Amino acid sequence: MCPKNASYYGNRAATLMMLGRFREALGDAQQSVRLDDSFVRGHLREGKCHLSLGNAMAARRSFQRALELDHKNAQAQQEFKNANAVIEYEKIAETDFEKRDFRKVVFCMDRALEYAPACHRFKIIKAECLAMLGRHPEAQSVASDILRMDSTNADALYVRGLCLYYEDCIEKAVQFFVQALRMAPDHEKACVACRNAKALKAKKEDGNKAFKEGNYKLAYELYTEALGIDPNNIKTNAKLYCNRGTVNSKLRKLDDAIEDCTNAVKLDDTYIKAYLRRAQCYMDTEQYEEAVRDYEKVYQTEKTKEHKQLLKNAQLELKKSKRKDYYKILGVDKNASEDEIKKAYRKRALMHHPDRHSGASAEVQKEEEKKFKEVGEAFTILSDPKKKTRYDSGQDLDEEGMNMGGLDFPGGPVVGTLRFRCRGHGFDAARCSPPKKTPRFTNNKHCSAQQLRRIVSSQKLLKGYKSGSHGPDLGSGDIFVMALRRAGLERVRRREDTITRRESEGTIGRQCENQQEWLWNVLGEAED
């Protein structure tokens, strides 16, 4: 009824502003000031609409015009300051975006959106930075809100595709990029992202195909090329690093595999597969503490039976690694046969035998004697199937249960290497294989010389006989015994003291005489 009344247009603009329809309100506010350029409220409403839509420069011009008409207007003064603040936030955000300081850009956009709540441009910038920061759900929420209001918004379509791209949903991401390019063919960011997504997808698929075909070198090259396409795609690159780590493990480049898995974990610390792959590589390189740490991380995240078993295995290997490595002492593989173990034992025993180092310094002799004892101890464990099984399974080798016996005397087992001297004859069992079954002598049971000779002959101990310097008579109880286990050695020493004491008292028993008779028979037979 009154098409030329500025107040009517101004009032309708105010109503539309309260409804959040700022674009429609802007038209009415502009019409009101065209009809009456001195209409202060019209200029204020026009500036407010411009500011809400993110056009801070236009808003500042409107507020400045209002101040020219009424320089004491408090609302105009405050809105003018708000417009300047938005302009400043925009400048800071633009600089920080180039520096890739996305967190600060998000902060600036949040502050700017307090004054410009209807600005799609600020929301898009914020959403893009959220996507770059890996906060994909928030970014998708912002982009989806814009698309509900404007389904043809190319920027929102681009951000939606970017979130999918960074979540490793490359096929869906390409669809959104293509749609954004349909809405805006010159959209540079969508064009670059679409090209990268297609190239990344192709390289990754080619690498997977080469891996399945067993062409590990080609797979390594393809995964490496894929990693160079887009360093910002953290999730996909984490998978590529893990895949390349798997290839390196197949090529037995375990250190490189560990490095690739570590890079994968740095990019995505929730990537269970990378932890499992790295833990296995640690196990293969005998870095058991690191393996246990990775398996603990996995089990804390996913408490499955499989992961629990992997953790137990790693803990067992860690426990075993802190004991003496008998395989390493003998220089054999863990899968070595019984013959290989015997052969290695003889070789190492000869290498470290004290007689070979009699002319060396005291320090060298002590070190070689220590190694010699370790060789005997290692062989005693690994040559016995039951003890070897216990050792391999990581069970504790307690003193009583694991006293390795070569020959048992009353008073305690004598372990490993035995050396006897009597009446000008020496016997060295160090170069011989210990018995498969240990003969045991107890106070309640006697073993005949014939039985003992049979046992010794079956052990091929006669090969270990050699001539030596004249020694004291055996009847004096002067038996020299070297035991490779501390517990066994101590018990033998106690027995020797008992024999010597009882001989001096003339009370030595018949059982000890049987042992002496046996030793005489063995040495006599060997001399023959």
Nearest CA among 401, 452, 407, 409 for reference residue 434: 407
pTM of the entire predicted model: 0.61
Lowest mean pLDDT among 5-14, 18-27, 389-398: 389-398
Phi-psi region of 411 (alpha: psi -120 to 50; beta: other; left: phi over 0): left
Lowest mean pLDDT among 164-173, 209-218, 480-489: 480-489
User: With contact defined as beta carbons under 8 Å apart, do 480 and 419 qualify?
Assistant: yes
User: With contact defined as beta carbons under 8 Å apart, do 491 and 409 qualify?
Assistant: no
pLDDT above 60: residue 390: yes
Q: CB-side exposure of 364: number of CA atoms within 13 Å?
A: 10
pLDDT above 70: residue 325: yes
pLDDT above 90: residue 26: yes
User: With contact defined as beta carbons under 8 Å apart, do 22 and 54 qualify?
Assistant: no
Who has greater pLDDT, 2 or 527?
A: 2
User: With contact defined as beta carbons under 8 Å apart, do 289 and 318 qualify?
Assistant: yes
Nearest CA among 267, 263, 297, 266 for reference residue 279: 297
pLDDT category at 358 given cuts 50, 70, 90 is confident
pLDDT above 50: residue 517: no
Could you tell me the two tokens for 371? 């190694």
CA–CA distance, 223 with 274 (Å, rounded to integer): 15
Residue showing tokens 């003889």: 346
Q: What are the residues whose beta carbons fall under 8 Å from the beta carbon of 285, sequence distance 6 or more?
A: 254, 255, 258
What is the residue type of 198?
Answer: K
pLDDT above 50: residue 464: no
pLDDT category at 59 given cuts 50, 70, 90 is very high
User: With contact defined as beta carbons under 8 Å apart, do 416 and 393 qualify?
Assistant: no
The distance from CA 13 to its chain's CA centroid, rounded to whole angstroms, is 63
pLDDT of res. 432? 40
pLDDT of res. 76? 92
pLDDT above 90: residue 402: no
Say what the alpha-carbon torsion angle 231, 233, 238, 244 is, to the nearest 10 degrees. Answer: -60
CA–CA distance, 106 with 133 (Å, rounded to integer): 10
CA–CA distance, 165 with 169 (Å, rounded to integer): 5
User: With contact defined as beta carbons under 8 Å apart, do 226 and 203 qualify?
Assistant: yes
Could you tell me the two tokens for 446? 């006697």
Lowest mean pLDDT among 72-81, 316-325, 459-468, 493-502: 459-468
Could you tell me the two tokens for 317? 């290997």
User: With contact defined as beta carbons under 8 Å apart, do 456 and 503 qualify?
Assistant: no
CA–CA distance, 131 with 232 (Å, rounded to integer): 10
pLDDT above 90: residue 457: no
pLDDT category at 236 given cuts 50, 70, 90 is very high
pLDDT in tens, 439-448: 443 333 344 4
Could you tell me the two tokens for 239? 């998978």
Mean pLDDT of 186-208: 93
Percent residues over pLDDT 70 in the chain: 74
pLDDT category at 338 given cuts 50, 70, 90 is confident
Could you tell me the two tokens for 18? 């309260």
Residue showing tokens 């049971």: 445
pLDDT of res. 399? 43
Who has greater pLDDT, 468 or 175?
A: 175
In three-state secondary structure terms, 407 is strand
CA–CA distance, 162 with 164 (Å, rounded to integer): 5
pLDDT of res. 134? 87
